């Protein structure tokens, strides 16, 4: 049916700058379904797992420091085509190249402080939302309940 899920995360700079509401608003207004949300201090091991594909990049140590430097807001959003659409709403990785009207285009200037994460494929969307192992069990407690309670 084309319904996907994507993992959206307001990064520590977005939380510190008070942009959580603004960012949530953009996905709400677009019409996607918020399935779960929590404020979370990301442990180093989970940050390394999240960004494992980048571990050979020169900026990787800084990236891990940044993402674990303060609380993040974790969200699961669902909808038809939500993965690609969310990436469009977020804009290019380098905020200076992100189009005006996108979250990064409107709210950020540095690649290393680009305020928000969005999954890059439906497979990664599912993996990042559901998690694995110990996380998987814990995630059941905060994700995926809204559809039931609002209908
Ligand atoms: P995106 O977050 O747009 O999916 P990505 O997955 O390629 O981008 O990289 C993950 C994060 O790593 C990105 O949001 C910011 C950081 N990053 C990527 N490229 C970088 C670079 N050239 N210099 C510094 N940080 C970078
Ligand atoms: Mg990415």
Measured from the Cβ of residue 18, the count of other Cβ atoms closer than 10 Å reads: 8
63: Cβ below 6 Å to ligand 1? yes
114: Cβ below 6 Å to ligand 1? yes
Looking at residue 1, what is its pLDDT?
Answer: 87
114 is in an annotated binding site: yes
145 is in an annotated binding site: no
With H, G, I as helix, E, B as strand and everything else as coil, classify residue 49. Answer: helix
Closest CA to 91 of 73, 111, 66: 111
Distance CA 108, CA 87 (A): 15
Tell whether the model's pLDDT for residue 147 goes beyond 50. no
Q: Which is higher by pLDDT, 102 or 134?
A: 102
The residues annotated with a catalytic role in the active site are 117
In this prediction, residue 133 has a pLDDT band, given cuts at 50, 70 and 90, of low
102: Cβ below 6 Å to ligand 1? no
Distance CA 131, CA 140 (A): 10
Percent of the chain with pLDDT strictly greater than 90: 84
């Amino acid at each position: 049916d084309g319904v996907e899920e994507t993992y959206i995360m307001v990064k520590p700079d977005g939380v510190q700058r008070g942009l959580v509401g603004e960012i949530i608003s953009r996905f709400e207004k677009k019409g996607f379904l918020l399935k779960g949300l929590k404020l979370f201090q990301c442990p180093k091991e989970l940050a390394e797992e999240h960004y494992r594909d980048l571990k050979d990049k020169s900026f990787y140590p800084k990236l891990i420091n940044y993402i674990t430097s303060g609380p993040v807001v974790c969200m699961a959003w669902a909808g038809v085509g939500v993965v690609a659409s969310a990436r469009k709403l977020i804009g290019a990785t380098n905020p200076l190249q992100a189009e005006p009207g996108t979250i990064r285009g409107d709210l950020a200037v540095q690649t290393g402080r680009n305020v928000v994460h969005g999954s890059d494929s439906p497979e990664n969307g599912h993996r990042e939302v559901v998690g694995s192992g110990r996380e998987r069990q814990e995630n059941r407690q905060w994700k995926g309940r809204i559809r039931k309670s609002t209908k």
